[in-house]
Amino acid sequence: MSHGSSRLPRSAGRTAPASLPPAGLPGMDARFSRLVEAADGDSGHPVTWHLLDNGPVLDQLGVTPVGTMLCVHGNPTWSYLWRELVAAATDAATTAAETGSGDVWRVIAVDQLEMGFSERTGIERGLEHRIADLSALTETLGLAGPVVTVGHDWGGVVSMGWAVDHPDELAGVVLLNTAIHQPEDRAIPWPLRLTLQRGMLGRATVATPAFLETTLALAHPSLESDVKNGYRSPYRSADRRGGIGAFVADIPVDERHRSWNELERIAAGVRELGVPSLMLWGPRDPIFSDTYLDDLAERMPQADIHRFEGAGHMIAEDVEYAPVVLDWLGGLDQRAGRVAARGTSRRIETTSDGLDTAAGGLLDQRKGPLWSVLDERRDSTDIALVDMKPRRDVSWKLLSTRVRQLAAGLVRAGVKPGDRVSLLVPPSADLTAVLYACLRIGAIVVVADAGLGLPGLTRAVRGARPDHVIGALPGLSVARAFSWPGQKISTTTLPRATALALGVRHSLPELARLGADESLPEPPAASAVAAVLFTSGSTGPAKGVIYTHAQLEAVRDALSSQYDIGVGTGLVAGFAPFALLGPALGARSVTPDMNVTSPRTLTAKATAEAAAAVDATVVFLSPAALANVVATADALGAADTAALAGVKTFLSAGAPVPETLLAAAGRLMPNATPHTPYGMTEGLLMTDVTLEGIRAAAQDAAALPAGEHAGGVCVGAPAGSVRVRIAGLDEHGQPTAEPSDRTGVTGEIVLSAPHLKQSYDRLWATNRIADADSVWADSDGTPTERWHRTGDVGHLDAQGRLWVEGRLPHVVVTAGGVVTPVGPEQKIESVLGVGRVALAGIGPRGTQQLVVVLETDPPAHRAALADSDLGAAVRHAAGLDIAAVLVVPALPTDIRHNSKIDRSALSRWAEGVLSGEKLSAP
């Protein structure tokens, strides 16, 4: 294809003058619209552009901008795409004018020629021409640096072309779903292939609004009709849509295309852009997928990246991106300094603010890599781990040998330090061996729980962009069906036809043979990234949590110190992370016979059999697993009882554990001290409390005067070197106070510890929120350290114990004040016949009404309003003004723990029910 003009209708070449948009388009302030005459970038003839420009408004406010955002739309949108960014920047300028502080940015959002309300010249403009046009416009505007380009779709390419050509003015780059290079092994996205078919281009783009309507339909959620009309307004007739067709025709599908060389020039040039960059991405985009994000990230390794799960091609409509852009611009000077210091020649794994977070003190205290016990015990025939189904005992000698052989084999199979390896292997000796083999050679292990469900697991694996996938047959089958990236390696030797069908290149037995000489590379540095561990997804899409080797070692050391786990310990791990840390701790470890994605499948007998297999002294179970263990205790025999009697330490965590459940478990393990640690994927062990400690805390709380105790779950004192602070809530239920260790203040829980995660993977905006304003210095002048905002709310009591009162998104703000959910829920659970309880809020924040949704014992057959007696008992127990009490057969919970109640979903459901929707189960 040369440029495709023969495929476009004659109407595509008609001319029309520029004009201002009609008044009243939703979200667009007419003050920003203006027409500007500039020279055509090719002929030099005058052409007229329409653009949104808040510069005149800034002049009226009397403020001077620190720089300009130059925003370029793609096809088939126009400057209307950037209306929220223009408005947000102007609002910030207004605040700056009133307060005398804050950065002010001018925003210029152009309508490219032939598009939007700019002039229709009748000329089909290639990429080189469009970049020259934009340069001529900015010259006319007198646009001097600093300039931050902002681009979307093919406007991203045009904006990057301008950036490459104006290095002296360029201060930064912001990109929303776009591309700069088409991989040779990938076909052009199907929507574009379809449109480019002979006979289709003109009909789909010019003669009809099909291409425009298809693009607008890519929004998630669907656009409101008036917003769609806003996008349609400059393209109401075929003679206004010529630019849409010409833009599609200008896609360089091969080296014969007129714009091919220009695209190649820009693609090479962006590698030399030594400026801060931000990429905001919608993974659901069928056009610019994560493949293009990966390419851009490789070319611009200094880039900060945020993937908005659930968003797609129309990302500027799908999410509130403007505050993220402005927040990022607020630290532009500091980022520029760091980029200049580092250069752009290497891959950078950073936190949200670019700080290297493996603190010197953490490295100085390093006790050895995670595989050090495997090296120390490489000649020991003692049991290292046990598989229960089928039963298989693995010695330290065998495990150590297998790890070294697999490590050497992985290197020979092309796995390099820094490569990401997704592990789709059930908890087993195979999983343990391959995990430690990857760590040993510096590969980054990606662990996403199958309990996320297929859609969640697919999002996680795709988002983690693995270079290699190691899996059992079920995982590899799913990987093939959903086109997950990465070289495929199977845990077992597959028939040749099966291996070919699944795209499998190697198997673990083959890798062990390849690495029989156990020739290993230099071990990775402590500061190197070791793992991406995905959260449970119980509070939104699962997030990838990045850990360095030093941070994982600190997790190991914290567990070892807190619970005296080491060589000789027998560990029953009903939670995969503990099972995988067993060899690093030197413990004999076993995972009970259970479906790890469904904790409620664990029985008391399976737990006892696992304990007997390793002479267990430590047992870790999730609350849901523990509940079923207690419920099936009648099946225990004498040998089972004896095995459980040998347990000295019992742990249950992942969700609040009722005192009664811990006590019941304590009776099954009569010689064990029951503990319930508080932690999260971002920090596995933050606080700890024993059953005795819970009872003591309850007595202390009961002795307080009425109103002085907010309730909640006591999770104990900080473990080891962990530090806990509380950022108090304001009247809107938001954490605004400076975090402190004051007692009795309810707010967001903020933590610091050597074994906290480094950052979230490709979630720049989330990192900014979670990292507690990045770094704080202590009041006593000790060195700064990183803190993590947990999203949990709670308070510290006079004894320094932490009480968790719920999640920040579940805080209810009524007309009478802020209500955290856990305390009232605990009171309601004391009502006879009530099981689990969830407190939810409905209505506008600030005037929300409280709704209680609960399970009963015995369970209800269907969702219903509670009868008057139960409703009265609930209201009396809670001591709150409750609008409605609803009974359901089962509360919705997360998949991983089967314990965390989705109160946000309940709020939406309850609001619908009380608005007259059909009363069905949530």
pLDDT confidence bin for 203, thresholds 50/70/90: confident
Q: Which of 152, 607, 509, 539 is nearest to 309 (CA)?
A: 539
Closest C-alpha among 797, 574, 632, 766 to residue 703 = 797
pLDDT bucket at 6, cuts 50 / 70 / 90? very low
pLDDT greater than 90 at residue 293 = yes
CATH 3.40.50.20 is right for the domain spanning 680-807: no
Residue 34 CB burial class (10 angstroms; 0-12, 13-18, ≥19): middle
At the top level of CATH, the class of 811-914 is alpha beta
- pLDDT value at 896 more than 50: no
pLDDT per residue over 89-148, tens digit each? 999 999 999 998 889 999 999 999 999 999 999 998 999 999 999 999 999 999 988 999
Spatial contact of 281 and 305, defined as CB atoms under 8 Å apart: yes
Stretch 244-268: mean pLDDT: 89
**Can you give the pLDDT at residue 189?**
62
pLDDT recorded at residue 346: 40
Q: How far is CA 877 from CA 125, 708, 816, 821, 881, in A?
A: 72, 17, 18, 14, 11
Is residue 835 scored above 80 in pLDDT? yes
pLDDT (average), residues 781-807: 85
Distance of alpha carbon 447 from alpha carbon 466, whole angstroms: 11
pLDDT at 11 over 80: no
pLDDT at 908: 86
* Gyration radius (Cα) of the chain, Å: 30
Question: 80 with 116: CB under 8 angstroms?
Answer: yes
578, pLDDT greater than 80? no
Residue 488 has pLDDT above 80, yes or no: yes
Which pLDDT does position 9 carry in this prediction? 67
Report d(CA 697, CA 797) in Å as an integer.
9
Name the packing angle between helices 396-412 and 429-441 (round to 10°): 50
Contacts of 268 (CB under 8 A, 6+ apart): none
Residue with tokens 């201060």: 171
Sequence-separated contacts (24+) of 29-34 with Cβ below 8 Å: 29/83, 29/86, 29/87, 29/90, 31/56, 31/57, 32/57, 32/86, 32/90
CA atoms of 901 and 167, how far apart (whole Å): 52
- Write down how long the chain is: 922
Q: How confident is the model over 211-239, as pLDDT tens digits?
A: 999 999 999 999 999 999 999 999 999 99
- The CA–CA distances, whole Å, from 915 to 874, 882, 918 equal 22, 16, 9
Reduced to 3 states (helix: H, G, I; strand: E, B; else coil), residue 557 is helix
Band the pLDDT of 184: cuts 50, 70, 90: low
CA distance 269 to 167: 10
pLDDT on residue 252? 83
Neighbours of 163 (CB within 10 A): 26
Can you give the pLDDT at residue 365?
A: 55
pLDDT value, residue 1: 33
Q: Which is it for strands 759-760 and 775-776: parallel, antiparallel or unpaired?
A: unpaired
| Interval 194-204 mean pLDDT | 67
- Please state, rounded to an integer, the average pLDDT across all residues of the chain: 89
> Do strands 649-652 and 618-621 pair parallel, antiparallel, or not at all (unpaired)?
parallel
CATH 2.40.37.10 fits 5-342, yes or no: no
**Which phi and psi angles does 535 have, rounded to 5°?**
-70, 175
Task: Tell me if the bond preceding 146 is cis, omega within 30° of 0.
Answer: yes
Residue 145 has φ and ψ, to the nearest 5°, of -70, 170
On whether the CB atoms of residues 304 and 351 are closer than 8 A, the answer is no
List CB contacts of 845: < 8 A, sequence separation 6 or more.
732, 733, 813
User: Between residues 590 and 706, which one has the greater pLDDT?
Assistant: 590
Domains 5-342 and 811-914 share a fold: no
Q: Tell me the C-alpha to C-alpha distance, in Å, between residue 559 and each of 271, 375, 822.
A: 44, 20, 27
Exposed/middle/buried for residue 885 (C-beta within 10 Å: 0-12, 13-18, 19+): buried
Element (H, E) at 34: strand 33-39
Residue 429 has pLDDT above 80, yes or no: yes
pLDDT tens digits along 800-818? 999 999 999 999 999 999 9
Sign (positive or negative) of CA dihedral 232, 236, 241, 243: negative
pLDDT at 327: 94
Identify the pLDDT of residue 188.
Answer: 65
Residues 173 and 164: beta-carbon distance below 8 Å: no
Strands (E) across 754-895 are located at 759-760, 775-776, 785-786, 788-796, 802-807, 812-814, 817-819, 834-842, 849-856, 864-865, 882-887
CA 144, CA 68: separation in Å to the nearest integer? 8
Average confidence (pLDDT) over 458-485: 89
Domain positions in the chain are: 5-342, 372-591, 680-807, 811-914
Q: C-alpha angle with apex 516: 510 to 518, nearest 5 degrees? A: 125
Q: Where are the alpha helices (DSSP H) in 442-546?
A: 453-464, 473-481, 496-502, 508-514
Per-residue confidence (pLDDT) for residue 193, from 0 to 100: 58
Rounded to 10 degrees, the C-alpha dihedral 721/679/759/372 comes to 70
Q: Is the pLDDT of residue 599 over 50?
A: yes
pLDDT band at 10 (very low <50, low <70, confident <90, very high): low
Residue 191 scores a pLDDT above 70: no
Beta strand spans in 223-300 (E): 277-281
> Has residue 894 got a pLDDT over 60?
no
Query: What is the predicted pLDDT for the residue at 195?
Result: 61
- In this structure, what token pair is assigned to residue 822? 């856990």
- Which tokens in the block code for residue 490? 């199977």
Interatomic CA distance for residues 55 and 72, integer angstroms: 17
Q: What is the domain class of 372-591 according to CATH?
A: alpha beta
Residue 895 predicted with pLDDT over 50:
no
What percentage of residues in the chain have a pLDDT greater than 70?
91
Q: Which pTM does this prediction carry?
A: 0.88
CB 600 within 8 A of CB 620: no
Between CA 441 and CA 81 the distance in angstroms is 46
